[in-house]
Amino acid sequence: MAKLLIADRDGTERTGLQWFIASKHIPFEEIREAKTVHEMIAAIEAERPEAIYLELEMVPDDQFHHVKYLLRTNVERVICITTEAVFERALQALELNAMSLFVKPVSMENLQSSLFQAAKESAPPEKKASDPLMKEGITSEALFIEQAITGSAPSFLLFKPEKASLNKQLYHWLQNGYFPYPARLYPLSSMVAGIFEVPGERENELLQVEGQRLLQQWQEQHQNRLSLAIHPGSLPVRSIHEMYVRTKETMQMEFFKGYQQIHWVNESRGFHMIDPFLTPDEQRLWVTALEKGEKKVMKDWLYVTFTQFPHGYPIPDLLRIKLTSILAQLRRFMHTYKLDENVEIEANYHEVFQTILYQPVLFHIVQEILLFALELIDKAEEQKKNHVFDVVERGLQYIERSFKNPLLTLDDVAKAVDRSPSYFSSLLAKKKGKSFREVLNDCRLSCAKKLLMETNLTIKEIAFQTGFSDPNYFSKRFKETAGSTPRAFRRENKKNIR
């Protein structure tokens, strides 16, 4: 398969295009990025990509002729993109022998077509001729485009090494290994696909045995773990491409179950949507647990939330977002006790953030977050003893924990942060631009809105639950803030309650 170079100054655009190519299964073997013209030139000379996605505005006028020479002599397929629908950009694209020129905003359907054409036409001829899948009548293209299966479907397997750098080694190991059934293998960027012809009457049993053998042998011989996802040929399916997409989705189960596991497509019920952000109650739980040093509360909540899924497994990326919401609470706690000024703790924070984004197994992410939270609690205790903390931030957290108490006063909050009421009030106004009463009502009304949308509680019950002792005053304050009465707000925004 071909290499693609994405040359665009916008990092968001580059990342988005990488995601688009992966989600549409466009068959580029490798994808490289360049954010400047100098990086692009170096990448072309070193990597010799078969295709390039080029933002024309990236190339200065004084370097255009050099870039044109490099592209014409080294790159087979050029796709140009521009923000300027002018004749000069069209002329530049013609001079670069571009196969397509797109003006932002781009039609994603047309872009997909051009990218797939570039990948297909740029594939080295010798690879096409020697593709092991073609000998058995199933071409490599069948993984990426719809081609109806004629006859009975084969078994489809995906192998994924724990370390992506070992994927090439895994492919050769599988190629040179022994299989009791006819098999064709195909290397992908981070996995190896396999098509097996297994006797249908005992397909699942035979694949389970063979899969366990391969997992064990790979680990013993390479001191590295493997994940395996299987789509039995007995499942109804239209094409090899459909088998590949299903099996690739099922491979995400490694996020929940780890490596050295076999994941069956027929066992996967699919991943479901969740709200990826902490609820107000969950935020208060974390604020309180951190402030009071309730380590067991945090540990229990983390393990219940991220290891028990009675209603099926959520979309992994949404769980990662929820984990970053927890990290945001830890960040706020760091700021409260000035722990972000500690170089070592700040470095640990960034390491945990990277772990949330890229660690492939959920359990390990949860462990890292818990260890970091425990470290912050211990360090915060030292800061408390030395009276080092952000007074306003600590006061705000106290309000968020206590706003349901209808008797909560400015004196209570000031006492909690060891300051006089007048001094704390002046600090709060300076930092937030609001009085204590305004901040308190904001917390109460925010919680009230959520209860109106997500519960069947009466207006009176919601008023009492959010710290208002007088339902009429609650309704008055709510209308002043939201522009409608609580009842009208509920009618317009109510979510379905089961």
pLDDT > 90 fraction of the chain, expressed in percent and rounded: 47
Asked if pLDDT for residue 280 goes beyond 70, the answer is yes
Fill in the amino acid letter for 468.
F
Q: What is the DSSP string of 146-164?
A: --BPPSS--EEEEEEESSG
Amino acid identity, position 343: V
Encode pLDDT of 360-416 as tens digits. Answer: 999 999 999 999 999 999 999 888 877 777 888 889 888 988 899 999 999 999 888
Q: What is the pLDDT of residue 181?
A: 79
**pLDDT over threshold 60, residue 496:** no
| Token pair listed for 18 | 């990488």
Q: What is the pLDDT of residues 395-410, one digit of tens each?
A: 988 898 889 999 999 9
Residue 137: φ, ψ to 5°: 90, 0
C-alpha angle 331-334-338 in degrees, rounded to nearest 5: 140
Residue-wise pLDDT tens digits, 85-120: 888 888 888 889 889 999 888 888 788 888 888 887
In 104-216, beta strands by DSSP E: 155-161, 183-187, 192-196
Q: For 35-94, how does the pLDDT look when each residue is reduced to its tens digit (9 = 90+)?
A: 999 999 999 988 889 999 999 999 998 899 889 988 888 888 999 999 888 888 888 888
Cα–Cα distance measured from residue 202 to residue 200, given in angstroms and rounded to the nearest whole number: 6
Beta strands in 176-249 (DSSP E): 183-187, 192-196, 226-231
| DSSP conformational letter for 5 | E
Q: Which of 388, 286, 280, 378 is nearest to 328 (CA)?
A: 286
Weakest mean pLDDT among 11-20, 177-186, 430-439: 177-186
Instruction: Decide if 362 contacts 256 (C-beta within 8 A).
Output: yes
Q: pLDDT category, 267, cuts 50, 70, 90?
A: low
Across 220-238, average pLDDT: 92
Pairwise CA distance, residues 264 & 204, whole Å: 9
Q: Which residues share a beta bridge with 276?
A: none
What the chain holds in terms of domains, given with CATH numbers, is 2-125 (3.40.50.2300), 131-267 (3.30.70.270)
Parallel, antiparallel or unpaired: strands 226-231 and 155-161: antiparallel
Q: What CA–CA distance (Å, rounded) separates 406 from 120?
A: 68
What are the C-alpha distances in Å from 417 to residues 288, 422, 423? 14, 13, 11
Is 55 exposed, middle or buried (CB count within 10 Å of its CB: 0-12, 13-18, 19+)?
buried
419-439 burial code (b ≥16 CB/10 A, e <16): beeeebbebbeeeeeeebeeb
Mean of the per-residue pLDDT values for the chain? Answer: 87
Tens of pLDDT, residues 128-181: 333 334 344 566 678 888 888 888 889 999 999 998 889 999 999 998 877 777
Q: Residue 9 pLDDT more than 60? A: yes
Kindly indicate the confidence band of residue 269, based on its pLDDT and cuts at 50, 70 and 90.
low
